[in-house]
Structure 1
Amino acid sequence: MTAPRTTPRNSGPFFFLQHFASPSVKKDRLAIGETAKFSMRRNLESIYSHLENALVPSEPFSTSSLSESLQGPEFSFLLPSTIDDSLLSQYSSDVLFPSKLSNQLTDLTTELVETSKSMASGTTESPRILDMMELTALFGVPNISTFISAFFQTLHWHLPIVHFPTFDPGNVSNPLLLAIFLAGASYATPLDGISLSPLIFDVAEEYIFRKILNLTTTQSSKDPRYILPTVQLIQGALIMEMLQFGRDDMATRRRIRIMRHPCLVSTIRSLGIFQLKRGTAPKAHDDRTWNILVAEEVCIRIACWVFLADGFLTVCFKNHPALSIFEMDCHLPWPAELWEAEDAATFAKIAATQSNEHTIPPLKDVVTQLLEASETEPLIPWSQSLSPEDLLILIYALSSLAFQTRTGLLKFLPFDTIFRGAKNWKRIWDSVIDSLDQKQFLHLGYPKHAEELWWLLTATLDIANNPEQGFAYLNNTATDELGNLNDFIQWCHQSTT
């Protein structure tokens, strides 16, 4: 293998992959918390404003409404004459004067407890049931701001499928609210020092994927604006899938790999999201049109990031792909700066600076052109419009094709063709990354590690026709542990240093 070009962005060609596959890593294996240290700090005023509105009591305060709030058995010791202002210091305001959001959190905790009970029924083991009091404390109003903020400062950069500028905590479905809460709780310290039990994640996973299983895919309209509850359910499922993979638990990993992920892919396929294309190019728009574009973009990002998840399972665990690159007939996602634009006016200004001279074709066509273009010819005209996120998706696509060729699933696609595609990818990567400044590059989450996947891919292609090497990573057997990957990466690292 040729020695890698050194860059100040990491300490070698396998900086992240060595961390990910290392058996010594027991916490934050996906390095989400580490990356968050270098990520852009957000202006959270819009979130706080939405939260204030969502936490306004459902009914105006009055003595009669307070009396009605105190009808439960836990308040039976009170007589009507004892209800006065002194009670406000004994009970939290969200208990005495519930808001829409606090009511939603109460409903969610009840549903989770019921889910845990149903999971425990019929088992021979001692029942594992969530404690209502612990859940109520965790999903209480005091933690809302902390957890939602933590989600957008950490996991969001790695899984940018929720649109931060238009996210309204007061108008979000239970599954998505739950997933965001747990993601934030994983990277923030809950008030009162409440500990996060692994059981909470398992029950949340079951709760969300039961809804996925029961989801009807015969939508009356495919317009992203009219399938918002379905879209939010899928967003919640993707977030839970990533959270569960972040845990270093093989049984959980296997369940996600062979049950949850194929279910999610099948659902998205049935909804036609893998073929979604934008109705118009990003340009100056009013608020209404911008929101329509955002709804389309959310669905495109769902398609692209579930494809990334599929490629991740293939590259790291030799899982046979559940999704073919040749069915990915959707557009590639917007660049991060368009996706993060805080309003329609800012979006319009950024869109005006984007060149529309060379429109990027749908994802499957981009991959096809990478495979067919000669590496000695000039770069493909639209290549300079690709973002680091696009290039991460594309290197996973090439890696998935290489795996399928190696296992005999794509005999018509020779290794030489994939190698040509990999060389074209690297030329584009070098050109695109050189045009970014260092500070901007650090904000990108996983895309900044895409070059490591290129090194891994070229290593597998280099020795694909040399089976006597005997690497377990190169056989066809799926696995749920990282030992095979770790051994191969260590060999690759030694070969490049």
Structure 2
Amino acid sequence: MVAPTASQKTFDFRRLSLEEAQSSNRSEFGAGFVNSDPATPQFFQDTFLDFFNGPFGDGQKPMDDPYNTGDLTYQTVMPQGQTTNLALPADQSVFEPERPFARALIQSILARAWQVPLDPKAQQEISANLNFILTTGRIRQFISLYFKCWQPSCAMLHVPSFDPETVPLPLLAAVAFMGAMYSSDQRETCVAKRVLDFAELFVFSSDVFSAESEVSIVFSGGRCYKDETTDWVKFQNCQAGFIILLAQYWAGSRVSRNRAMENRFSEVVKVARRMELVKARHLPDDQGHEHLWIQKECRVRTASIISLLDCAFFFYQNYPCRLTQSEMECDLPSDESVFFSEHPFAEPKFCFSRELTITAAFENLLEETELKPMDLTALDMFILIHLLYSFINAHMATLGPFIRMGNITKPGHLMSDRPQQAESIPEDRILVSVKNGLSRWRDYWFALRNRVSNDEWASMGFYKNSYNFWLVSQLLITKKDAVDVVMRMEVHCEDKLEKLKVLLDDQKDL
């Protein structure tokens, strides 16, 4: 993701972690999470804001990438001063005889691109770019980069089962273009970004997203989308749409990012609901069939990560969630090592079902007295803190008008003899439950960190950033200005960190 406006500023983060966090042993976070002290101003600049830069914000990526401005007209592909020779060097190690899947992918994207009104020069460039970027060798290289760089943070494809010779072309396109964003060859990344929009058009032209397909089924009197909940190819095409919109959101132009967030994600959520991904659970009938377990786990994980992105849109840009906590009735994802295995049933940590849904885990966090201790993974914690943040933010927005009218009071069992300060956030019953949930989440977080080795922790991708979400969530329920900040924040806010700056002001007391 493109860094928000506030990334150019340094804020004092000392109050964000609260007194108990300030006194914690910083080694608890481990080398894979935060080596800097959250009690120092530099923490916000060096650690927290890195989290907001998205998955391509590493050192090998050009920070002045013109393709993220969204303000370009049609122009050359290469950065200024770089050769436009797209031929493979003589020693190119990724060369191999072209496979049918590479030729088919080029032709499929071209066929969709030709439906866009473009002049002959533009068509010629698109053709040259696709023939450069989608060679067999490069596709394999990009697939490898996808699984090396992206899979640890968003594991929803079963690596041993992924074969470019057999997967649907939309999924192959999505994985290849996402992987291309991690290429160390700037030519490859620039060319991939240049034709990313056309890859998106191709992926979303599949039947699973097609209004024409829906009209055809209804007009013919058939049952709409019969058996779609078990159709593996259609599910993979849904995954393709999700992956390509992720690539667009973090690497596309401003227009493409907005389209991914506002339009494409809504299409993916619609299909996910229709396929009942939000209700995906491992059933007893699947116990004797490893391939069915793998397919169901892919559905569980895809639903979980769709929910994560839904909350992330809310977190980064104040875009309202399209899924609710209550409808996330899918299982919690399995252990990472089990899902990554070629034969999950043979893994020592294999457990057929977690026997706990995301909704149930979320509700358990909020209970005044925890109903049952939970065995949570880093991914579970990442999912739950996203849901908690979104729940808190939405609740604060709901509270706003009532606070301004003076119609909120504490519940009877929370009343005290001390007069309530007008500036403080009234503690309604929901807010009390939220505080319980955040406190309980933090206990689980440190317990998890203490039992995980540093090597395992370092391999956990984005999940290590969960505590950052906790810190911001804690701000929202403790800072007296939080309600006003949330109420004033517009939908699709481009600089949400700038808006949250007031909550970090040292001059404002908790």
User: What is the TM-score of this pair, normalised by structure 2?
Assistant: 0.71
Give the structure 1 partner of residue 108 of structure 2.
Answer: 111
Q: Residue 452 of structure 2: SS of its match in structure 1? A: coil
Give the structure 2 partner of residue 381 of structure 1.
Answer: 372
1:448 alignment partner, one of 423, 446, 464: 464
Q: Give CA-to-partner distance per residue, 1:74-126, whole Å, 9 cap, x none.
A: xxxxxxxxxxxxxxxxxx9736xxxxxx22221221221232232335x9x99
2:156 alignment partner, one of 146, 158, 161: 161
| C-alpha deviation, 1:150, in angstroms | 1.0
Output the amino acid matched with 2:316: C
2:361 alignment partner, one of 359, 363, 366: 366
CA separation in 2, counterparts of 1:103 and 1:110?
11
CA separation in 1, counterparts of 2:475 and 2:178?
34
Output the amino acid matched with 1:237: G
Call closer, same or farther: CA 1:150–1:460 in 2, change over 3 Å.
same
Q: Residue 323 of structure 1: SS of its match in structure 2? A: coil
Call closer, same or farther: CA 1:197–1:94 in 2, change over 3 Å.
closer
1:188-267 aligned at under 5 Å gives the runs: 188-189=183-184, 195-211=190-206, 212-214=208-210, 218-221=224-227, 224=230, 227-247=231-251, 249-267=253-271
Output the amino acid matched with 1:363: I
| C-alpha deviation, 1:336, in angstroms | 0.8
Output the amino acid matched with 1:118: Q
Gaps of 5+ in 1: 36-91, 96-101
Contact between 1:395 and 1:454, CA under 8 Å: does it hold in 2? yes
Output the amino acid matched with 1:477: E
| C-alpha deviation, 1:144, in angstroms | 3.1
Q: Residue 316 of structure 1: SS of its match in structure 2? A: helix
CA separation in 2, counterparts of 1:254 and 1:191?
24
Question: Following superposition, which runs of at least 4 residues in structure 1 exceed 4 angstroms of deviation?
Answer: 12-16, 31-35, 125-130, 189-195, 409-413, 493-496
| C-alpha deviation, 1:249, in angstroms | 3.7
Call closer, same or farther: CA 1:277–1:208 in 2, change over 3 Å.
same
Output the amino acid matched with 1:145: R
Give the structure 2 partner of residue 291 of structure 1.
Answer: 291
CA separation in 2, counterparts of 1:193 and 1:272?
37
CA separation in 2, counterparts of 1:488 and 1:392?
21
Call closer, same or farther: CA 1:355–1:143 in 2, change over 3 Å.
closer
Give the structure 2 partner of residue 98 of structure 1.
Answer: none
Call closer, same or farther: CA 1:373–1:432 in 2, change over 3 Å.
farther
Give the structure 1 partner of residue 349 of structure 2.
Answer: 350
Contact between 2:229 and 2:276, CA under 8 Å: does it hold in 1? no
Contact between 1:268 and 1:303, CA under 8 Å: does it hold in 2? yes
CA separation in 2, counterparts of 1:163 and 1:138?
24
Gaps of 5+ in 2: 1-14, 39-43, 61-94, 215-223, 403-427
1:16-165 aligned at under 5 Å gives the runs: 16-21=47-52, 29-31=54-56, 94=97, 102-120=99-117, 130-165=125-160
Q: Could you tell which deviates more after superposition, 407-416 or 252-261? A: 407-416
1:397 alignment partner, one of 362, 387, 404: 387
Contact between 1:300 and 1:332, CA under 8 Å: does it hold in 2? yes
CA separation in 1, counterparts of 2:57 and 2:290?
30
Q: Could you tell which deviates more after superposition, 406-415 or 295-304? A: 406-415
Output the amino acid matched with 2:327: E
Contact between 1:158 and 1:445, CA under 8 Å: does it hold in 2? yes
Give the structure 1 partner of residue 88 of structure 2.
Answer: none
Contact between 2:106 and 2:130, CA under 8 Å: does it hold in 1? yes
Q: Residue 342 of structure 2: SS of its match in structure 1? A: coil
CA separation in 1, counterparts of 2:186 and 2:256?
27
Q: Residue 452 of structure 1: SS of its match in structure 2? A: helix
Aligned residues: 406
Q: Give CA-to-partner distance per residue, 1:462-493, whole Å, 9 cap, x none.
A: 12x5358x64x663411252x23245269549
User: What is the TM-score of this pair, normalised by structure 1?
Assistant: 0.73
| C-alpha deviation, 1:17, in angstroms | 3.5
Contact between 1:116 and 1:129, CA under 8 Å: does it hold in 2? no
Q: Residue 398 of structure 2: SS of its match in structure 1? A: coil
Contact between 1:143 and 1:190, CA under 8 Å: does it hold in 2? no
Give the structure 2 partner of residue 432 of structure 1.
Answer: 448
| C-alpha deviation, 1:33, in angstroms | 5.2
Output the amino acid matched with 1:350: K
Give the structure 1 partner of residue 90 of structure 2.
Answer: none
Q: Residue 234 of structure 1: SS of its match in structure 2? A: helix
Contact between 1:273 and 1:330, CA under 8 Å: does it hold in 2? yes
Call closer, same or farther: CA 1:160–1:34 in 2, change over 3 Å.
farther
CA separation in 1, counterparts of 2:123 and 2:154?
30
| C-alpha deviation, 1:317, in angstroms | 0.6
Give the structure 1 partner of residue 10 of structure 2.
Answer: none
Output the amino acid matched with 1:478: V
User: What fraction of aligned residue pairs are identical, expressed as a percent?
Assistant: 17
Give the structure 1 partner of residue 491 of structure 2.
Answer: 478
| C-alpha deviation, 1:268, in angstroms | 0.6
Whether 1:306 aligns to 2:309 is no
Contact between 2:290 and 2:344, CA under 8 Å: does it hold in 1? yes
Q: Give CA-to-partner distance per residue, 1:380-412, whole Å, 9 cap, x none.
A: 5342x2100011001111111112212229999
Q: Residue 313 of structure 2: SS of its match in structure 1? A: helix
CA separation in 2, counterparts of 1:466 and 1:194?
43
| C-alpha deviation, 1:367, in angstroms | 1.1
> How much is the aligned-residue C-alpha RMSD, in angstroms?
3.4
CA separation in 2, counterparts of 1:333 and 1:295?
12
Contact between 2:475 and 2:503, CA under 8 Å: does it hold in 1? no
CA separation in 2, counterparts of 1:291 and 1:355?
13
Contact between 1:395 and 1:450, CA under 8 Å: does it hold in 2? yes
Give the structure 2 partner of residue 47 of structure 1.
Answer: none
| C-alpha deviation, 1:135, in angstroms | 1.1
Contact between 2:385 and 2:441, CA under 8 Å: does it hold in 1? yes
Q: Residue 115 of structure 2: SS of its match in structure 1? A: helix
| C-alpha deviation, 1:242, in angstroms | 1.6
Give the structure 2 partner of residue 407 of structure 1.
Answer: 397
Call closer, same or farther: CA 1:281–1:490 in 2, change over 3 Å.
farther
Q: Residue 414 of structure 1: SS of its match in structure 2? A: helix
